[in-house]
Amino acid sequence: MENNEMLIAYLFKELFPIEWMRYRMYFSEDIYRSIPYLLYRYKDDCDLIYQEKLLNCVESYKGKQKWTTFHPHYIKNNNYILTLKSVREKIEECKRSGRIYYEKAEFGDDFNRMCEDAISDIPNLGKHIREAMILKIHSLNGHIPK
């Protein structure tokens, strides 16, 4: 598997006004540590401008897994997460039922395959985001990023 742990982070930095980001989506030395995700925060009040368009873009991607981006209930600031849609659903299910979200326990036997599928999706997800968002960003701020 090609090492793409920071590919989408660099793309986000290029496309969006990012204030802060955890660059590594996964750890190549232990791909089963957690399901890949990107944690990021836009600069002042830019989240409303970009987040809805990014959400629509990400959720339209057709890969091995379905992807989404959201603001989790347990994060106090304006950070967002890009990850698998099934992760978001499990986090929300745990919140509703009062359980603590333990990723490996929640996904059981599917966990390793989900990690592998997500990692293999990353390059094409990045291409999809770039192609879809360039025109949307151009319409928002009048220029196309490199």
Question: Is 43 contained in some domain?
Answer: yes
Residue 17 lies in a domain: yes
Residue 144 lies in a domain: no
∠ CA 27-55-82, nearest 5°, is 15
pTM of the model: 0.89
How far is Cα 45 from Cα 11, in angstroms, rounded to an integer?
20
- Residue 37 is classified by DSSP as -
**Which pLDDT band, with edges at 50, 70 and 90, does 95 fall under?**
very high
For residue 146, is it within any domain?
no
Contact yes or no for 54/69 (Cβ under 8 A): yes
pLDDT, tens only, 17-44: 999 999 999 999 999 999 999 999 998 8
Mind listing the pLDDT tens digit for each residue in 46-74?
Answer: 777 788 899 999 999 999 999 999 998 78
Top-confidence residue, 8 or 144: 8
Instruction: Report the number of distinct structural domains present in the chain.
Output: 1
- Residue 113, domain extent: 7-139
